[in-house]
């Protein structure tokens, strides 16, 4: 049981909300677009990952409980 994150690269335009709000889960490439650091989120970062997804104005991040 855990949360996995998926990024829709076609939607991401680099607002950077995700890597500011959940730096343990999301990183940035050199253009400032999102990269996924850990696909399976450890429980202690779940809340941050949720908040990051809920703050992405492009709706580019999807979380799934597996």
Partner 1 sequence: MEQKENPCPHTGVLNIIDPEYTAHPQPAYARVLANHRVAKSIAMHSPILSRYEDVVFALRHPEIFSSEMDMQVLLGTKRPMIPQQIDPPRQTRYRKILDLRFSRPRMQALEPELRRHAQQLIDGFVERGECEFDQEFAVPLPCAAFLTLMGLPQEELDLFLELKNGIIRPPVDPMDMIAATEFRMKTGERIYAYFEKAIADRRARPQDDMVTYLTTVDFDGRPLSDEEILDICYLLLLGGLDTVTATLGCSMAYLASNPEQRRKLVAKPELIPNAVEELLRWETPVSLVPRVLKQNVTIGDVELREGALVNILLGAANVDPAEFPDAMNVDFERENNRHISFGAGAHRCLGSHLARMELRAALEEWHKRIPEYQIKPGAVPNVSPGIREQLYLPLVWSA
Q: Return residues touching partner 1 (CB under 8 A).
A: 13-16, 19-20, 28, 30-33, 51, 54-59
CA distances from 19 to 1, 39, 44, 60, 66 (A): 24, 14, 16, 13, 23
Residue 14 as a binder of ligand SF4 (CB under 6 A): the answer is yes
- Report in angstroms how near the CB of residue 11 gets to partner 1 at its nearest: 8
- Report in angstroms how near the CB of residue 47 gets to partner 1 at its nearest: 9
- Going by C-alpha positions, the residue among 3, 25, 17 that lies closest to residue 59 is 17
Number of residues assigned to the chain: 66
Name residues contacting ligand SF4, limited to 23-52 (CB under 6 A). Answer: 33-34
């Amino acid at each position: 049981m855990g949360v996995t994150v998926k990024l829709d690269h076609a939607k991401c335009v680099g607002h950077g909300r995700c890597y500011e709000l959940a730096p343990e889960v999301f990183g940035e490439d050199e253009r400032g677009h999102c990269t996924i650091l850990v696909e399976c989120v450890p429980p202690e970062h779940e809340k941050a990952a949720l908040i990051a997804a809920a703050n992405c104005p492009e709706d580019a991040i999807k979380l799934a409980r597996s």
